[in-house]
């Protein structure tokens, strides 16, 4: 009877998972069909003159721009440049923000003041800091990495402070009842409890890091997708502009997927619904 029960339990557990996979596949298929239909409608409208192809571009024009960029090698180099700036800025800015936000748990009186400064920093439009960063660090990759890092630092710090503050009080009291030292509480309770917040922050910060890098490339750069889009826009080459937007979107999606994969691997205890 125990073997039969175990088999029934396994089947019961697999059914919700199979339903989730089936639902996900159906959703993905519907989204794909809608996207294909929109692209076809866009191309037909541009080809037949229903919309101004010079003003709105066209899928065929975007494809031709991609072929030219790949042939000349500029598309790959610009994509790798922006990807490098974004990832490095994300790692540095978010890493420092997360570390500082969690460490402030040891000094709760300072935490509130520091968090207030972080809120002020986060409210400053990063595009306004762009010229200063470029002047201080030059027009090479360094200034773009700084802008990407600054764009992510405050958000990571605020989120980490909140994560440390919202720790389960019952578990904290349990640790305290066993006379656990602050270092052990931090290592065994605060950091593991903050992991879901940290990964959520990283997913949000991907967009901020990308914006920071692209803004830096807009202001002063000789490479990168931001520079390519800026030049194409100045020349009214809307197809290249659309190409840059599409690649930036795919880049953000890929980075988000990587973060999600890392979260699923690291937070193995997280409940899956």
List helix spans (H) across 104-190: 108-123, 126-137, 141-165, 169-177, 182-185
Domain layout of the chain by residue ranges: 1-51, 58-266
Question: Could you give the 3-state DSSP secondary structure of residue 220?
Answer: coil
Percent of the chain with pLDDT over 90: 25
pTM above 0.95, yes or no: no
User: How many angstroms separate the CA atoms of 169 and 188, rounded?
Assistant: 14
In this predicted structure, what is the pLDDT of residue 55?
Answer: 75
CA–CA dist 266, 144 (Å, integer): 30
pLDDT confidence of residue 273? 47
- Residue-wise pLDDT tens digits, 135-169: 888 778 888 999 999 999 989 998 888 888 887 77
CATH number of 58-266: 1.10.3720.10
- The Cα–Cα gap between 172 and 164 comes to 11
Task: Note the pLDDT tens digit of each residue in 1-25.
Answer: 445 554 444 544 555 556 655 555 5
Residue 79's pLDDT is 92
């Amino acid at each position: 009877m125990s073997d039969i029960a175990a088999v029934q339990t396994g089947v019961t557990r697999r059914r919700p998972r199979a339903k989730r996979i089936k639902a996900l596949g159906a959703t993905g298929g519907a989204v794909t069909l809608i996207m294909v239909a929109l692209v076809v409608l866009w191309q037909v409208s541009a080809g037949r003159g229903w919309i101004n192809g010079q003003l709105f571009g066209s899928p065929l024009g975007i494809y031709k721009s991609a072929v030219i960029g790949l042939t000349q090698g500029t598309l790959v180099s610009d994509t790798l440049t922006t990807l490098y700036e974004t990832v490095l800025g994300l790692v540095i800015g978010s890493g420092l923000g997360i570390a500082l936000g969690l460490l402030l748990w040891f000094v709760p009186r300072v935490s509130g003041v520091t968090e207030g400064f972080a809120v002020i920093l986060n409210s400053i439009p990063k595009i306004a800091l762009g010229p200063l960063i470029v002047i201080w660090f030059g027009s090479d990759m360094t200034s773009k990495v700084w802008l990407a890092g600054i764009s992510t630092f405050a958000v990571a710090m605020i989120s980490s402070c909140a994560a440390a503050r919202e720790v389960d009080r019952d578990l904290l009291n349990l640790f305290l009842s066993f006379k656990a030292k602050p270092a052990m509480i931090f290592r065994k309770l605060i950091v593991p409890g903050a992991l879901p917040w940290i990964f959520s922050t990283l997913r949000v910060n991907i967009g901020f890091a990308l914006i920071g890098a692209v803004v830096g490339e807009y202001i002063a750069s000789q490479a990168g997708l931001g520079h390519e889009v800026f030049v194409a826009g100045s020349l009214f080459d809307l197809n290249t502009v659309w190409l840059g937007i599409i690649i930036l979107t795919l880049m953000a999606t890929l980075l988000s997927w990587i973060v999600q994969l890392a979260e699923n691997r690291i937070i193995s205890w997280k409940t899956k619904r």
